[in-house]
Amino acid sequence: MRHWIVSALIIAAVMAAAGLMRLYQFGTEAHAGAQSPALLVIAPGSSMRQVSAQLRAADVITSARMFEMLARIKGSARSIKYGTYEFSAALSPLDILDRLQRGLVRLSPFTVPEGRTLFETARIIAATGLAGEDDLLEKMTDPDVISGLGLKADSLEGYLFPDTYLFGQETTAGMILHAMTERYRQVFAEEMQTAGNPAGLSEHEIITLASLVEAETGRADERPLIAGVFLNRLAKGMRLECDPTVVYGQLLLDPGFNERLSRRHLRQPTPHNTYLNHGLPPGPICSPGRLAIRAVLQPEKTDFLFFVSRNDGSHEFSRTLQEHDRAVETFQRARSDTGAQQRPK
């Protein structure tokens, strides 16, 4: 009898060792699986058995039962993170478990360049599939969303900081807008801490003026000078006569507006038309970057009051209207029939 017990124990030990060896081989050997990348969406509350079945169905692993057993032996069954995972290369089950535990979900990047409007920003984000364009635009102008983000504005224009962002597929429009406004807060606080606010403008005024500077030039070296010109004109009670504000006013009337500015547009009343209205427009006209914000907080001290494009990305600056008119004649003669940029800036 004792002989049979010993034999049974030996057989059981051999079988257990063989099973462990098989499980070890399963856990460490990568499975090539399907040739195309496999996407796995793990919903909140999914059991380890469900996850294992999904992985097997996607041909990421060779055995759902052994994967579940491996996860339980490792104590990983209750620590996986939900989300969308992409498996584009052969991985061992142990590597897959590690990714699930660490939450290495599939991320979709997008970049919002400086100077983009809400309409352009919504299109950029929507192109990733993370959120719908209409849903984004609705939230960008929703008073409850805006106040929930701690902002006092009519829209999120100017407060969605231009940068590169990475989000998982489970991200909502609200989460994206929260991250972008938090990035804005970080940059604005850093610039305020460095430069202070010598002009005594409110935060909303700073961002509004920075958006005008951003829209007027892509040259970093010109931004402080253009900010100085605008501040000089504001101090003297002169209209800013900034072409991009006219364009933005037209965009609010027609988001598809892409016409060249004419005298008709310059004379059309909108809250943003700084050819007709004194002072700053009611809010930002685009998303200013760090350098545009810095230019408003640290403007160049100048006695220039006017500037006009040289048609090469740079501008000609003038102190008097006579100088400016001569510059307009020199650099903008070809555009005289449109009326755009013929007025003092």
**Which tens digits make up the pLDDT trace of 289-303?**
999 999 999 999 999
pLDDT at 173 over 70: yes
Backbone angles phi, psi at 87, to 5 degrees: -115, 105
- Under a CB-based contact definition with an 8 Å cutoff, are residues 208 and 284 in contact? yes
Give the closest residue to 93 by CA, choosing from 69, 128, 124, 126: 69
How far apart are the C-alpha atoms of 177 and 309, rounded to whole Å?
34
Name the residue among 153, 290, 301, 298 with its Cα closest to residue 235: 301
The total of other beta-carbon atoms located within 10 Å of residue 300's CB is: 16
Tell me which of 121 and 83 has the higher pLDDT: 121
- Is the per-residue pLDDT at 158 higher than 60? yes
The pLDDT confidence band at residue 6, using thresholds 50, 70 and 90, is very low
For 180, the token pair is 């972008």
- Strand duo 38-42 + 83-87: pairing: antiparallel
Q: Model pTM?
A: 0.76
Are 131 and 110 in contact, with CB atoms under 8 Å apart? no
Query: Where does CATH 3.30.1490.480 sit in the chain?
Result: 35-105
Give the per-residue pLDDT at 20. 59
CATH superfamily of domain region 35-105: Endolytic murein transglycosylase (3.30.1490.480)
User: How far apart are alpha carbons 160 and 114 in whole angstroms?
Assistant: 10
What is the average pLDDT across 253-279?
92
What dihedral do alpha carbons 260, 314, 295, 140 form, nearest 10°? 20
Q: How confident is the model at residue 29 (pLDDT cuts 50, 70, 90)?
A: confident
- The pLDDT value given to residue 207: 97
Which single residue is written with the structure tokens 């102190």? 319
- For 312-333, write each residue's pLDDT tens digit: 889 999 999 998 989 888 887 6
Residue range 114-142: mean pLDDT, rounded: 95
Task: State the CB neighbour count (10 A cutoff) for residue 223.
Answer: 26
pLDDT at 283: 96
For residues 136-165, give the mean pLDDT. 96
* Mean pLDDT value across the chain: 86
Query: What average pLDDT does the segment 176-198 reach?
Result: 93
Tokens standing for 100? 């699930």
pLDDT-based confidence at residue 342 (cuts at 50, 70, 90): very low
- Per-residue model confidence (pLDDT) at position 121: 97
Cα distances (Å, whole numbers) of residue 252 to 41, 77, 80, 151, 255 = 39, 52, 46, 21, 6
For residue range 49-96, list pLDDT tens digits in order. 898 898 888 888 888 888 888 888 888 778 888 888 878 778 888 888
Burial (CB count within 10 angstroms: exposed 0-12, middle 13-18, buried 19+), residue 15: exposed
